Structure 1
């Protein structure tokens, strides 16, 4: 069973969110992201404090883009469906979705952490594309290039090891892993990352300089999609009919 590539986990997570009584439709962010697909601006990183809905947005995007699922029924009910062309990218892409906050229970070292990620991803690629023989390639990138397919990458909590002071001596190697996997690779249709603190806090050089970064204090494009804006709070209060909005 796949771990990272073309799984149904994002859709199942998003369905659970959609059914919750506090659900707020943030689907219009998709319209912004669709404009970036297969352009030079296809790398973006959203950084926000915890509890701002970053993982929920990541699940929504995974549910929308992944070709492994059929999510038309749920997205037809959301605001994004008001755009006539919203189906152009709906369930059309191979999706690699990695949450970097998973640490192996056995062998809690950087090597064990990276082996878990790399081995799982290689196995997923082999399962999805049986003609790819991992022994023929030097890198995961070579495997992905040989598929001839386009992929959307969603990396949630990419900076987990930095925030938790893990593997300090190997953190630059982690940055290089992301860089080598994504930068200037022809198979990347879109790369969307979330984190807590700005990239420059961890990467002073060029390791992740392909990313456009949208931070808590410097974001006028995606700001409304993280946390609740005033109109959404008012709508929730009316919906629940028992919450009082304090001025």
Structure 2
């Protein structure tokens, strides 16, 4: 191969590598996003999209205490919407919604989103979480929005461990205090020392020797 052809081949190789690197970088961002995002429930209805929906229970299996619904609600419309309620069909669970700040409603801004769950975000607390959801199962969730109406999907039920620890219930019940297994009893009855309850031998002799009048009278007689 001539020197000019060799230079041309090297230049072409460099261009191909550059394009491949840029393509990999662009694809890599999407791939990385898909890689770190849990494969959780997602649904789109009209202008509303809900992603990464989960029911997150207490970190300890069987622990009493609330569970939470965690999700990201997107509003692709031109008008804000209010998240009016979150319900769990098929259960008697009550879900309490709370905005990230203040006591107002949870509002999803136009062209924006609201994260439910996690520190500093809006919350959806399931009061009787243990009865409402079982780890490893799926649970239907209905998000009711002011304009779109009901948006339903099925979500996984997971404990607040590993990736989900920071999005789980903020109220973690304390373990019950340890109770003694038996009552301590004395192994014997303490008895006072010999000199404490009864006079010593010398004291007793003095006491009996004092009234000696009668004995002296007999001796003198």
Q: TM over 0.5, yes or no? A: no
* Higher radius of gyration, 1 or 2: 2
Bin the TM-score by the shorter chain.
under 0.3
Q: What TM-score, normalized to structure 2? A: 0.23
Pick 1 or 2: higher relative contact order, CA cutoff 8 A, min separation 6: 1
Q: Name whichever structure is richer in helix by fraction.
A: 1
